[in-house]
Amino acid sequence: MFSEQQLSDHYALPDRSVPHLRVNFVSSLDGAAWHDGGSGPLNDEWDQQVFAYLRRLADVVMVGAGTIRVEGYGGLRLDEDAQRWRTENGLPPHPPLAIVSHALDLDPRSTVFTDAPVRPLVLTHAGAPRDRLDALAEVADLLVHGEDAVDLVAARADLAERGLAQVLCEGGPTLFGSLIAADAVDELDLTLSPVLESGAAGRIAHGPQRTLPMRLQHALPGGPMLFLRYLRAPG
């Protein structure tokens, strides 16, 4: 497994005051973002180590409502080492979860809300169903940006104003596609899993076509996995 020093050398954020949105995904060699509906079969303990380390560095963890539903997210709770590290580095023990949703098809009784050590955020828009907005307001802080679709640039700026400048997005592909369309991506951390999937699984992003040039920051082998870190290309 990676040492703490290796992870810090490869993933530390240079200036926490500068807003930064990093996206983390795992994919098969032929680009599948899931296997049998979930990403679990693509990852291993190396990928889980990096996944957990990126959470440790985040001010907030952004996730699409589809991934919350499919991957069965519960309350976002870091382990004791990560909590200690964060406290020693002037951060609260846990980052909040920020769930992005259009239709607010989210159950307020879900453990993602009831077992959360920090009250989650829900990022939505003004046209979202009023009854669901009211129900979720009981268990989460609502950030409403955009009239009939979530304005992710405005939502990101709002997060930064709340002191949540370092955003880790854990997917899924619809949310990532929207972030690309909004030109709101600063970094992609992509784990290549040594498997060929073929079949009908989707890619890590889908949405309107938009090209964002990126530059390779590192290619780090870890066990059978390859960890690729890309940053937004200058210019």
Ligand X SMILES: NC(=O)c1ccc[n+]([C@@H]2O[C@H](COP(=O)([O-])OP(=O)(O)OC[C@H]3O[C@@H](n4cnc5c(N)ncnc54)[C@H](OP(=O)(O)O)[C@@H]3O)[C@@H](O)[C@H]2O)c1
Residues found near ligand X in the complex (CB under 6 A): 25-27, 33-34, 37-39, 64-67, 70-71, 100-105, 150, 152, 170-175, 178, 204
Q: Tell me, letter by letter, the H, E, C secondary structure of the chain.
A: CCCHHHHHHHHCCCCCCCCEEEEEEEEECCCCCCECCECHHHCCHHHHHHHHHHHHHCCEEEEEHHHHHHHCCCCCCCCHHHHHHHHHCCCCCCCCEEEECCCCCCCCCCHHHHCCCCCCEEEECCCCCHHHHHHHHCCCEEEECCCCCCCHHHHHHHHHHCCCCEEEECCCHHHHHHHHHCCCCCEEEEEEECCCCCCCCCCCCCCCCCCCCEEEEEEEEECCEEEEEEEECCC
**Between 43 and 83, whose beta carbon lies closer to ligand X?**
43
**Between 124 and 166, whose beta carbon lies closer to ligand X?**
124
Q: Least distance in Å: CB of 51 to ligand X?
A: 9
Q: Least distance in Å: CB of 26 to ligand X?
A: 4
Q: Least distance in Å: CB of 109 to ligand X?
A: 16
Buried-exposed string 14-25: b where 16+ CB fall within 10 A, e elsewhere: eebeebbbbbbb
**Between 91 and 169, whose beta carbon lies closer to ligand X?**
169
Q: Least distance in Å: CB of 211 to ligand X?
A: 19
**Between 104 and 165, whose beta carbon lies closer to ligand X?**
104
**Between 18 and 126, whose beta carbon lies closer to ligand X?**
126
**Between 164 and 201, whose beta carbon lies closer to ligand X?**
201
Q: Least distance in Å: CB of 164 to ligand X?
A: 18
Q: Least distance in Å: CB of 80 to ligand X?
A: 25
